[in-house]
Amino acid sequence: MSPLLDQLRTALRARHYSRRTEEAYSLWVRRYVRFHGLRHPSEMNEPEINAFLTHLAVEEHVSAATQTQALSALLFLYRHVLGRKMGELGDLVRANQPRRLPVVLTRSEVKSLLAELGGDKWLMASLMYGSGLRLMECLRLRVLDLEPQRAEILVRDGKGGKDRVTMLPRSLTPALQAQLTRARALHQRDLDEGWGQAPLPGALARKYPGAPADWRWQWVFPQQRRWRDPETGVEGRHHVHATIVQRAVKEAVCSAGIARHATCHTLRHSFATHLLEDGYDIRTIQELLGHKDVRTTMIYAHVLNRGGQGVRSPMDGL
């Protein structure tokens, strides 16, 4: 199976898919092959894909999003690796897609959560809430993405491979400048020791050989330990790992006494809902969040649950 997975990774990288997508697609291809007794995908067709996806929905009770991701992985495999275009999948049993509203914290809950964090964890959580960033968008910020004078953040290669501009809270400028000072000192120490290179997207490192060591391309939130690229052997420094921030936010939620399942992404949901509460236009919020369709942003209007003048319960009028 290894040669097939190598071909899959090569095809994904040639089309600039993210490493997370590469890992997910590789996992689904392995599960698909094992489900059919280690048969090679070239020996299988639509009925086998249908059987695997139906198994996921009926036996493993996966969500609609998970089943769709598995389907996307298999379609990519057949189209771009095996060179075959798949036809109709027949009577595919689709997983249920329940309509769920996002968890949104009140302003006081956000304040309590942030009060339980410190250092760079506080700053990252504050950026996710104050700028509407996804977790990985926050972790992948580079120095040149920040525009403190214009109070803007350039989010590069967000979900769907899109760039966008969002706000940089002016209240976070002092803490952000302090973080950049620490990161620059760390970067200079790495340079003095013969390292100090950050991985660059695409072919930028070949086009600009000096860019990996350039301060402007360094991570805003570098990890503590240096990292060695398994492909090139070059040692540099990656950004903070997502699990470190996720764990810190989870502990902060418990310490703050918040009795709901709040995560890093909850801060982004709260950002959008609180902007709606403040009367900002739904289209403006769509642009800040980077949503392709305004209908995705409209879910926060359902969370808000009020019209233009607000809706008050009749019980409150008794």
Domains held by the chain: number: 1
Residue 134 designated active-site: yes
Residue 68 maps to a domain: yes
pLDDT tens digits along 135-193:
999 999 999 999 988 999 999 887 777 889 999 999 999 999 999 999 999 999 988 88
Q: In this predicted structure, what is the pLDDT of residue 317?
A: 64
% of the chain beyond a pLDDT of 70:
88
Active-site hit among 134, 142, 237, 274: 134
Residue 37 maps to a domain: yes
pTM for the full predicted model? 0.77
Residue 111 designated active-site: no
| CATH number where 51 lies | 1.10.150.130
Instruction: Decide which of 178 and 236 is more confident.
Output: 178
Does residue 303 surpass a pLDDT of 50? yes
Range of the domain at 36: 2-81
- Separation CA 99–CA 94 (nearest Å): 15
Residue 23 maps to a domain: yes
Active-site hit among 31, 36, 80, 159: 159
Residue 268 designated active-site: yes
Residue 232 maps to a domain: no
Residue 60 maps to a domain: yes
pLDDT tens digits along 199-211:
887 677 777 787 8
- Count, residues in the chain: 318
Residue 9 maps to a domain: yes
Active-site hit among 140, 142, 187, 268: 268
Residue 300 designated active-site: yes
